[in-house]
């Protein structure tokens, strides 16, 4: 069974009807409608460009501009009515424009194709979303910096291989993620000029025959440049691929932070406690407080990575210029924006409301974590580090054999390992001193951590 449906923008070539199943399979309005404002902005600018070339009169351009503004108002008010045949946002907006202003609407598409139109809409839409996403990243960095400054004096174990390694500041841990997210923001900022290339004026693939001023269009729409080749302009979706990579990497950083906090919130660690607003309970076990917000953040990393890998599989085998496969470029981009934007906001809120158990962190610091400091003590006595590392390891073994802490070993015990040990070795057994010895740039001392905070504050401001 076939259906003729509404008149198509492309229907002049066809005399047969379209299968209703194909109608549904082909349409994208249910998801690309969110680009309605970008589509209207692009059309209003294009109408001005046509008027500059004498294709439209000034009155016609103004009529189209008013009509497009009326369409935008309907979208904003939620009164825009979709009709059969509105297969995509471009068709829907142009159909409604014609109903408002009459036959002059038919002049708007002169020299323009949905190929350069959709590429322009996507870039316009993404540029707006990038501004918002950069704001969310800055808010997250700000939340981490604020907590780092507030909790500057809290010490905790630092881990490698998930084994206690050396004492660090809790603030140092938080700032490690703050710098990751700062780098994410900087990558997005560097990415913006690659998005801000205007495809409009490329036509279907071969260029515009009416000599529209593309540089003027770019300036009018806030783009920084025009695509230098019309084939490239209509078929390029590298900006989608790169955006999905950036989203995936940011989600990896969110996921790693979530994993750390999930571990630290367990009873076995007890370092942190999530606010009730970002936790749930168990339907069976009343004592449970589950870090569901963090688990969802960790899980959604896979979702965004799936957006990227799925799109890349579509993109990899396309012949040049536009192919209908490229309709599959929008949903992963939209989904990544929605998922990442929500994830950034939730992560910032979790950090801002997190409670820490400073005493539990302190109690988790054990003497064996100062074994490296013991080796460094001997280095300062002139002993080569390779020897001091071995001597300190022997001290750890001695303490293990005696079922005591390494700090419980006497100077006489240590002297059996090397004659350079003196009474001043007692100063080694101090976690605050150990932390503040790491005072090179990037270290975990109070001075260097405060320096990191100031660096990030300067960037935020």
Segment 231-261, tens digit of pLDDT: 999 999 999 999 999 999 999 999 999 999 9
- The rounded distance, in Å, linking the Cα atoms of 203 and 233 is 9
Place of tokens 């783009």: 223
- The rounded distance, in Å, linking the Cα atoms of 379 and 384 is 6
Residue 290 φ then ψ, to 5° = -95, 135
What pLDDT, on the 0 to 100 scale, is given for residue 4? 42
Tokens of 215: 């540089």
316-333 burial, b if ≥16 CB within 10 A, otherwise e? eeeeebbeeebbebbbbb
Helix (H, G, I), strand (E, B), or coil: what is residue 205?
A: coil
What pLDDT, on the 0 to 100 scale, is given for residue 364? 97
What pLDDT, on the 0 to 100 scale, is given for residue 245? 98
Fold of 114-363: Fumarase C; Chain A, domain 2 (1.20.200)
Burial class (CB in 10 A: 0-12, 13-18, 19+), 307: buried
Nearest to 189 by CA among 137, 238, 244, 153: 137
Same fold, 114-363 and 367-460: no
Which residues are marked as active site?
161, 282
Count how many residues are written for the chain: 461
What pLDDT, on the 0 to 100 scale, is given for residue 288? 66
DSSP for 275-313?
-GGG-B--SS-TT--B-HHHHHHHHHHHHHHHHHHHHHH
Residues (pLDDT < 70) of the chain are: 1-18, 281-284, 286-288
Q: State the CB neighbour count (10 A cutoff) for residue 440.
A: 8
Domain limits, the chain: 11-107, 114-363, 367-460
What pLDDT, on the 0 to 100 scale, is given for residue 10? 44
Q: What does each C-alpha distance from 184 to 134, 180, 344, 350, 450 come to in angstroms?
A: 9, 6, 12, 19, 22
Place of tokens 């009326």: 70
Q: Is the dihedral of CA 430, 435, 439, 440 positive or negative?
A: positive
CATH of 11-107, one of 3.40.50.410, 3.30.1600.10, 1.10.275.10, 3.40.50.9100: 1.10.275.10
Tokens of 257: 């932070």
What pLDDT, on the 0 to 100 scale, is given for residue 280? 78
pLDDT digits (tens, 9 = 90+) for 71-111: 999 999 999 999 998 999 999 999 999 999 999 999 999 99
| CATH architecture under which domain 367-460 falls | Orthogonal Bundle (1.10)
């Amino acid at each position: 069974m076939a259906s003729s449906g509404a008149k198509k923008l492309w229907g002049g070539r066809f005399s047969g009807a379209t299968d209703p199943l194909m109608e549904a399979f082909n349409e994208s309005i249910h998801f690309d409608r969110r680009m309605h404002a970008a589509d209207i902005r692009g059309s209003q600018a294009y109408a001005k460009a046509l008027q500059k070339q004498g294709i439209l009169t000034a009155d016609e351009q103004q009529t189209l501009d008013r009509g497009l503004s009326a369409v935008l108002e309907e979208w904003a008010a939620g009164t825009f009515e979709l009709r059969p045949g509105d297969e995509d946002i471009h068709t829907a907006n142009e159909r409604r424009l014609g109903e408002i202003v009459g036959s002059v609407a038919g002049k708007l598409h002169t020299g323009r194709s949905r190929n350069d139109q959709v590429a322009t809409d996507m870039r316009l839409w993404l540029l707006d979303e990038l501004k918002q996403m950069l704001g969310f990243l800055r808010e997250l960095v700000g939340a981490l910096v604020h907590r780092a400054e507030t909790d500057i004096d809290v010490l905790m174990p630092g881990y490698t291989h998930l084994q206690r390694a050396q004492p660090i500041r809790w603030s140092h841990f938080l700032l490690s993620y703050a710098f990751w997210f700062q780098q994410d923001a900087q990558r997005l900022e560097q990415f913006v000029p690659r998005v801000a290339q205007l495809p409009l004026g490329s036509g279907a693939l071969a260029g515009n025959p009416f000599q529209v001023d593309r540089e003027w269009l770019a300036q009018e729409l806030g783009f920084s440049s025009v695509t230098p080749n019309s084939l490239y302009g209509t078929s390029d979706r590298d900006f989608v691929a790169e955006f999905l990579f950036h989203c995936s990497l940011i989600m990896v950083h969110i996921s790693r932070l979530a994993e750390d906090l999930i571990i630290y919130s367990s009873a076995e660690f007890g370092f942190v406690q999530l606010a009730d607003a970002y936790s749930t309970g168990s339907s069976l076990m009343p004592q449970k407080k589950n870090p569901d917000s963090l688990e969802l953040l960790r899980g959604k990393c896979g979702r965004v990575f799936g957006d990227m890998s799925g799109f890349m599989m579509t993109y990899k085998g396309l012949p040049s210029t536009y192919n209908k496969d490229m309709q599959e470029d929008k949903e992963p981009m939209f989904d990544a924006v929605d998922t990442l934007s929500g994830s950034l906001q939730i992560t910032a809120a979790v950090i801002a409301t997190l409670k820490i158990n400073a005493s539990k962190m302190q109690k988790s610091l054990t003497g064996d974590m100062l074994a490296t400091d013991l080796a460094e003590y001997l280095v300062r006595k002139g002993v080569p580090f390779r020897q001091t590392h071995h001597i300190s390891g022997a001290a750890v073994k001695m303490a293990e054999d005696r079922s005591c802490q390494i700090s419980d070993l006497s100077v006489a015990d240590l002297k059996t390992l090397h004659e350079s040990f003196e009474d001043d070795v007692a100063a080694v057994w101090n976690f605050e001193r150990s932390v503040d010895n790491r005072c090179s740039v990037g270290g975990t001392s109070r001075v260097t951590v405060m320096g990191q905070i100031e660096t990030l504050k300067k960037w935020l401001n």
